[in-house]
Amino acid sequence: MAAAIVFYVSGHGFGHASRTIEVINAVLASRPETRIGVRTAAPRWIFDLTVRGKIAFSTLECDTGVVQVDALTLDEADTIRRAWAFHSDLVTRAASETRILRELGAGLIVGDIPPLAFAVSAASGIPSIALGNFTWDWIYADYPRVRLAPSLLPAIRGAYAKGSMALRLPMSGGFEPFSNVKDIPMIARHATRTKQEVCKLLKLPADKPIVLMSFGGYGLPGLDTDVLSKFKKYTVVSATNLPVGRSRKDAALASRKGSYVRVNEEAMYNVGVRYEDLVGAADAVVTKPGFGIISECIANDTAMLYTSRGHFPEYDVLVEEMPKYLRTAFIGQDELFAGKWETPLNKLLAQRKAKNQQKPDTNGAEVAAELLLKALDKPPKKPRGRPRAKKA
């Protein structure tokens, strides 16, 4: 039986999972018989709805990411405390994974981008490849409280150093611990349905510009949706998850209040519309900057109205880089929660594309899949034995 690729995926937000899924789909499209294992704390429903093939999914906390109070606020102190509590025991955690890898028949480990994946690689002797646009040591190094956990960064960097290769995406930071870094194009999900098809299937009005509200699993509690429902010029759409304990049969496709529409994400997939189709149908996305949503806006030529997201070092890199690729505008959190979107949206959608705006390659999933399959096919290194004693 051919060896499997086992993915260790950060549960921080949905971005790590969504781009890993694109790579998995590209692997399965290229070689459908490839066995895939996934170890992650990201919600299983994301994989169930979007993986185009069979995988062995199992829940595991691979890292602690950052501690989010809500979609736009994080707790730096608790972030460092939890990260150190987790990574101080990395060797033991890695050793406990070796049995799982044997059961999965792993021949290659891919990490996006938990240090645990590479500690597991060292413990099991299975080669490993990193995938991402930032490393966790780079994130934590920017938090002053990291000085209270002086062994945290060395532990993370020591684990990363065990990786055989790192596939670095654009808009990146970190990666110094990896000795072999290869830059690859952006990984992005591309819409396969037209705006007209999406509006018809989701019963959305097609006579006004669509604005997609995208804030991951946290949503925006406290947002004044009554104001959104009274918009004259725009239809505002948000996709929500199916409540625990509800079945597809119980789930309404959408609920509408004036110009504000909530679409049930699982029911949406059930009628053949994927999230990237919704991004493609939108004239603008209102969001916080993250690699996943930025790459999808770029791939689908959708404008972005973004807000601040707390002290997260990736934010500064993304805000600096994303105007090179798409139309963007900033909205403060006070205006965001008050629903005062119409004026900044008008200005955003009136923007012309900058003359120097680039259209980057967005086939990173296919490039990554080719490299992973090549690494999987590479014969394992034979262990070195003791040198034979010379005959007298």
Q: Is the peptide bond before 113 cis (omega within 30 degrees of 0)?
A: yes
Higher pLDDT, 13 or 228: 228
For the chain, list the strands marked E by DSSP.
4-9, 36-40, 56-59, 67-70, 73-75, 106-112, 128-134, 165-173, 181-183, 210-214, 235-240, 254-257, 260-264, 284-287, 303-306, 328-330
What's the whole-number average pLDDT of the chain? 92
pLDDT of res. 254: 86
Instruction: Spell out the residues 6+ positions from residue 194 whose beta carbon is closer than 8 angstroms to its own.
Output: 281
Its CATH architecture, for the domain 4-187+363-377, is 3-Layer(aba) Sandwich (3.40)
| Segment among 135-149, 193-207, 245-259 with least mean pLDDT | 245-259
Q: Where are the domains of the chain?
A: 4-187+363-377, 195-350
- The C-alpha atoms of residue 83 and residue 381 are separated, in whole angstroms, by 33
195-350: which CATH number, 3.30.420.40, 3.90.1570.10, 3.40.50.720, 3.40.50.2000? Answer: 3.40.50.2000
Higher pLDDT, 271 or 244: 271
**Over residues 160-178, mean pLDDT:** 98
Say whether 195-350 and 4-187+363-377 share the same fold: yes
Which of 105, 115, 92, 124 is closest to 166 using CA atoms? 115
**Over residues 143-154, mean pLDDT:** 97
Q: Residue 16 above 50 pLDDT? A: yes
